[in-house]
Amino acid sequence: MPSPSDSSSDRTLINEAPISIFEVDNNGQCTDVNPAACEIVGYSREELLDMSITDLAPTYDDGEWMSEFSEVQKNGHIRTEMVLLHKEGHKVDVDFDAVLIDNRIVAYVREITEHKEHERDLVTTKERMELALEGANLGIWDWNMQTEEVERDELLTDMLGYTRSEMGDRMRGWEEIVHPDDEKRHNEALAHHISNRTPYYQCDHRLRTKSGDWKWVRTMGKVVERDESGTPVRAVGIHQDIDERKRAKLHLQEERDIFAKGPVVVFKRKDADGWPIEYVSANVNDIFGYTSAQLQSNGVLFTDLVHDEDIGQLVGEVAEHQEVGADHMSLDPYRVLTAEGDVRWVMEYTRYVSNGDDNSYFLGYLIDITGRKEREEKYRNLFEGTRDALMLLDRNGFFDCNNQTLELFGIESVDAFVEFAPWELSPETQPNGRESRQAAQAHIEAAFEEGEAFFEWTHKRRDGTEFPAEVKLSKFRLNGEPALHALVRDITERKEYEQELQEQRDNLEILNQVVRHDIRNKLQLVLAYTDLLQTEVKVNDKEYIEQVLEAAREAVDITTTARDVTEVMLQSDVDRHVVRLSPMLESEVENVRSDHDQALVRLDGSLPSVEVLADDMLASVFRNLLTNAIQHNDKEPAEVTVSATRDDRSVLVRVADNGPGIPEERKEDIFEQGEMGLDSDGTGLGLYLVDTLVDRYGGEVSVEDNDPEGAILVVDLPIAE
């Protein structure tokens, strides 16, 4: 980062930069900041220059900063996340991207407070979602009825809080935890089945958990093997956690006042269109705003309360349960309308009560789950709201992604996206030469083992185009199973900017070497001839004086070209505008004649009246071509002719000289930066500048042989429309 004493143009660029820039020394002391840096922490520039990073980052101490500084000195770069303390006292999460320049750290700081809050909200919401979506558990048991040995899966033992060894492998381990009030009913149901009085064994009963509480469990089983005498040998079955559903059902069977603050109970006739409401608990007024009398009138149907968009779903699910003869229904969530017209999400649990075709009905209850649905929606909004591509995967591959992912990869739907393996959205090999599949698998496995992985990766879109990205894999658990968040950020612009900065640094280094060399040579020549003049010149002898003046002019030309080259290198955008070509050319020809009165510089014919799209540096193109034609000319006098022609699309400007010409093998190389070399009489910067500028204007520059001797530099520029 330039210091305050650097050029005003550099200072302006830094001050106007939208990103916060901090310059700190090896002790962490701020030595310079731009306005954006002041804004992000709320301090003035003067206040920040009296502060250090450890003052701004409360989680850092001097030792930690020295560790970070050592890392930057070692690798030349560090990127980390930290928390800065705003002047007003609140914390600001930032991305701290620092590079080492001349033993100074220049840090580019970007606020990520909102992103970090989103991450924290996502974690919190996800944890709540995992708890809210816990459903009924189902396990399997296998009972050897002769040896009393029982094999149980871990689902039941986990559900009750025991280990398998604590439950034991005998039937008595089960019998010892059955509720005393349920033991008789349980044994009777089992005995009826063993004696072939029922096709299978089923019983809802309470079991004691390890904590001492009671949990309702439904056990269903069947004797699958008997010996020759008909004695049962082996039975298998399932057990299911029905605690929540069972307790709700029991509540439904109790007195009506038990529903004062409980679920809404609804009775519905079987197979009646719209299900007329026969009874609803009094608390419906508290939850949905209706009175019981309103809903129990013959004119009100249950479907009148359901949101129009959800009626089809509800009717279809009920019909499906009726078709298979299910006596219990747990329906997918749907929406109902309150008396005030508000929308509430409900979950319905219903039981079919069979009392003969004419007297059968559905008995059920609704639970208001609007809060849960809002949390689910919030989680999805967070998932979709991130500015980066976010995808979810496990060891089997992708299973979800947000819309930003689809846009980034050019894929039409989530279903289409999850068909790809992670490495199939990449070229076969990465820039480091590693095969993409192996590298992707290694990163995924590292994230599962270590909790996260952060790396750069080259991706490939569906249309075949490639782009660089930062990828962060973070481990989480979904329904108890490990999975990964994959956050993918397109860093094409950043990579291009880094490349541009690197090229500018390289160019400025060449400029520094070349200009210092040539200016030193020219100025040494000035000093040498000046020393001779002091002792030997005579009044009428102007030879040495002319040598001094010529060397001085060339030194000035070099510094002028160096200034122009530097200005071009530092430009990130070209602000092109219409420039009239002929007045500009005539002015430059006249200026070169004045500076080089020993040369013959002329215009051949009239110049066409055309306009081109360029900027104020266009004059440097022709000034350098004219100066180059004179300085690299071995004739006395040097002759330079300027001519121009045009067609419908472009104008050709030719600068011809009578010098030694340019060998064929060097014609393609003379425009390279510093091509003249440090052992020549010139820098080569002039022609490099010409080529750079002409390319920016959308034109081309080339070399031709002059007849009978010399060279012609041809500039082809498109005419402004």
pLDDT category at 264 given cuts 50, 70, 90 is low
Q: What average pLDDT score do residues 221-234 get? A: 90
pLDDT category at 681 given cuts 50, 70, 90 is very low
Say whether pTM exceeds 0.75. Answer: no
pLDDT category at 566 given cuts 50, 70, 90 is low
Residue 492's Cβ-side half-sphere holds a number of Cα atoms within 13 Å equal to 7
SS (H, E, C) 621-675: HHHHHHHHHHHCCCCCCCEEEEEEEECCCEEEEEEEECCCCCCHHHCCCCCCCCC
Element (H, E) at 202: strand 201-208
Q: How do beta strands 639-646 and 600-603 pair?
A: parallel
* Cis geometry, peptide bond prior to residue 199 (ω within 30 degrees of 0): no
Q: What average pLDDT score do residues 630-637 get? A: 87
Q: Write out pLDDT tens, residues 667-678.
A: 878 887 554 433
pLDDT in the model for residue 166: 79
Angle, in degrees to the nearest 10, between helices 543-570 and 8-15: 0
pLDDT in the model for residue 261: 46
Give yes or no for residue 2 having a pLDDT over 60.
Answer: no
The dotted CATH code for 248-374 is: 3.30.450.20
Sequence-distant contacts of 81-89: CB under 8 A, at least 24 apart: 81/112, 81/116, 82/57, 83/57, 83/58, 83/59, 84/40, 84/41, 84/56, 84/57, 84/109, 85/41, 85/56, 85/57, 85/58, 86/41, 86/42, 87/41, 87/42, 87/43, 87/47, 88/42
**CATH topology match: 387-455+468-488 vs 498-718:** no
Lowest mean pLDDT among 222-226, 271-275, 586-590, 681-685: 681-685
* Burial of residue 636 (number of CB atoms within 10 Å: 0-12, 13-18, 19+): exposed
Q: Give the chain's length.
A: 721
Beta bridge partners of 105: 24, 100
Q: What average pLDDT score do residues 610-615 get? A: 92
Q: What average pLDDT score do residues 94-116 get? A: 85
Using DSSP's 3-state secondary structure scheme, residue 411 falls into coil
pLDDT category at 455 given cuts 50, 70, 90 is very high
CB atoms within 10 A of CB 699: 21
Gap between the Cα atoms of 46 and 55, Å rounded: 14
Beta bridge partners of 329: 350
Using DSSP's 3-state secondary structure scheme, residue 517 falls into helix
User: Which CATH architecture does the domain made up of 138-241 adopt?
Assistant: 2-Layer Sandwich (3.30)
- Pick the more confident residue, 537 or 176: 176
Q: Read off φ and ψ for residue 691, nearest 5 degrees.
A: -65, -40
pLDDT category at 539 given cuts 50, 70, 90 is low
Beta bridge partners of 458: 468
- Pick the more confident residue, 473 or 495: 473
pLDDT in the model for residue 260: 44
Q: Class assignment of domain 387-455+468-488? A: alpha beta
Angle, in degrees to the nearest 10, between helices 618-631 and 543-570: 150
Element (H, E) at 40: helix 35-41
Q: Write out pLDDT tens, residues 230-260.
A: 899 898 887 788 887 777 666 555 544 444 4
User: Which CATH architecture does the domain made up of 498-718 adopt?
Assistant: 2-Layer Sandwich (3.30)
pLDDT category at 567 given cuts 50, 70, 90 is low
Using DSSP's 3-state secondary structure scheme, residue 311 falls into helix
Hey, where are the domains in the chain?
8-111, 138-241, 248-374, 387-455+468-488, 498-718
C-beta of residue 638 within 8 angstroms of C-beta of residue 600 = yes
Q: Write out pLDDT tens, residues 392-439.
A: 999 889 988 888 889 899 999 988 999 999 899 899 999 888 999 999
Signed CA dihedral, 631, 634, 636, 639: sign only: negative
Lowest mean pLDDT among 89-103, 111-125, 588-602: 111-125
User: Which fold, 8-111?
Assistant: Beta-Lactamase (3.30.450)
